[in-house]
Amino acid sequence: MDDSREDVLAYTAFPREHWPQIASTNNLERLNAEVKRRSDVVGIFPNERSVIRLVGALMIEQSDEWAVARRYMSLESLATLSDDPIRRLSAVTA
Q: Which residues of 65-75 are buried (b: 16+ CB within 10 A; e: fewer)?
A: eeeeeeeeeee
Helix (H), strand (E) at residue 26: helix 26-42
CA pair distance 22, 16, nearest whole angstrom: 10
More confident residue, 54 or 68: 54
CA pair distance 33, 4, nearest whole angstrom: 31
Average pLDDT over residues 42-58: 91
Return the CA Rg of the chain: 18
Question: Domain ranges in the chain?
Answer: 2-81
Average pLDDT over residues 69-75: 63
Q: Is the pTM of this model over 0.75?
A: no
